[in-house]
């Protein structure tokens, strides 16, 4: 286990970035372990505002399947370990997740930012007046969504979309994330390939303020070289051990 953890002192702040890899052992597919295709569409081609304008039924179908998938799975020991860390560590623990599932919440994590949105929420583009950010009113939605589903607020149809940050759209709560990165003492990245920005650049932001940076992944990511240290292996095994090490450090 990383010798760097001996530098961490009680009361210091920890920022944890998670990606699809932390949910893999719960049974949710990652993006790039497969051939990165979904029904022969590249995710980058389905998860964009242009794709939604071009073929809203295809995009709604993509998220209806993802929404169903989330309800069939449960948090794994990695999610549970992070919730335990937040509960018992006497400094701040902030999880910034790229994931759109609710497994961190169901494991008990509370100080959490879904920078790419949440598949169990939707919003009405007509009510939002074209705005798309964390301040827009979101609607909890666990069922299938269709292009002609009427908005429960304005009654109009054709405006409801998944509360997902697509490629080319601004991720949520970026100011809050950059502030946390500027002040954290330990930055841990778990289960992300380092393909997608701005998340893949967070390690540099953390490092600029002198924080210790640790990558926990199944294999080196695209930004592995930027981290001080690495723990390789499945998160369901490595993260409980890491959390115990931090809590006893």
| Residues near ligand BV8 (CB under 6 A), total | 37
Sort 163 into a burial class: Cβ within 10 Å, 0-12 / 13-18 / 19+.
Answer: buried
Q: Which residue is nearest to ligand BV8 (CB)?
A: 21
Contact call for residue 192 and ligand BV8 (CB under 6 A): yes
Outline where DSSP puts E strands in 128-200: 139-140, 160-164, 186-190
> By rule CB under 6 A, what string of x and - marks binding of each residue 92-131 to ligand BV8?
------xxx---------------x---------------
Evaluate the omega torsion of the peptide bond into residue 198 and state whether it is cis, within 30 degrees of 0.
yes
Asked if 46 and 38 touch (Cβ cutoff 8 Å), the reply is yes
Count of beta carbons in the 10 Å neighbourhood of residue 173: 15
Nearer to ligand BV8, 12 or 192 (CB): 192
Give the position of tokens 């399947």: 65
DSSP bridge pairs for 212:
186
Task: Give residues 127-186 in contact with ligand BV8 (rule: CB under 6 A).
Answer: 164-171, 174
Q: Is 41 a residue of the active site? A: no
Asked if 194 and 170 touch (Cβ cutoff 8 Å), the reply is no
Nearer to ligand BV8, 139 or 218 (CB): 218
Contact call for residue 58 and ligand BV8 (CB under 6 A): no
List residues binding ligand BV8 (CB under 6 A): 19-21, 24-25, 30-33, 44, 47, 98-100, 116, 164-171, 174, 191-193, 195-198, 217-219, 221, 234-235
As annotated, the active-site residues are 116
């Amino acid at each position: 286990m990383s010798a760097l953890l001996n530098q961490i002192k009680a009361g210091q702040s920890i920022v944890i970035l998670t990606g699809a890899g932390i949910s893999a052992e719960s049974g949710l597919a990652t993006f790039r372990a497969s051939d990165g295709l979904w029904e022969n569409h590249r995710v980058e081609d389905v998860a964009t505002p242009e794709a939604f304008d071009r073929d809203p039924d295809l995009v709604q179908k993509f998220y209806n399947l993802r929404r169903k998938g989330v309800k069939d799975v449960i948090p794994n020991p990695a999610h549970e370990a992070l919730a335990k860390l937040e509960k018992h560590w006497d400094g701040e623990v902030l999880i910034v997740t790229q994931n759109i599932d609710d497994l961190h919440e169901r494991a008990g994590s509370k100080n959490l930012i879904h920078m790419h949105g949440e598949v169990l929420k939707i919003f009405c583009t007509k009510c939002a007046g074209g705005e798309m950010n964390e301040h827009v009113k979101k609607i909890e939605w666990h069922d299938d969504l269709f292009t002609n589903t009427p908005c429960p607020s304005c009654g109009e149809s054709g405006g409801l979309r998944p509360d997902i940050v697509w490629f080319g759209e601004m991720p949520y709560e970026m100011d809050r994330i950059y502030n946390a990165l500027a002040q954290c003492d330990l930055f841990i990245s778990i289960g992300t390939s380092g393909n997608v920005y701005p998340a893949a650049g967070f390690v540099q932001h953390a490092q600029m303020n002198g924080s210790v940076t640790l990558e926990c992944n199944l294999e080196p990511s695209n930004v592995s070289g930027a981290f001080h240290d690495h723990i390789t292996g499945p998160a369901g095994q490595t993260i409980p051990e890491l959390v115990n090490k931090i809590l006893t450090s």
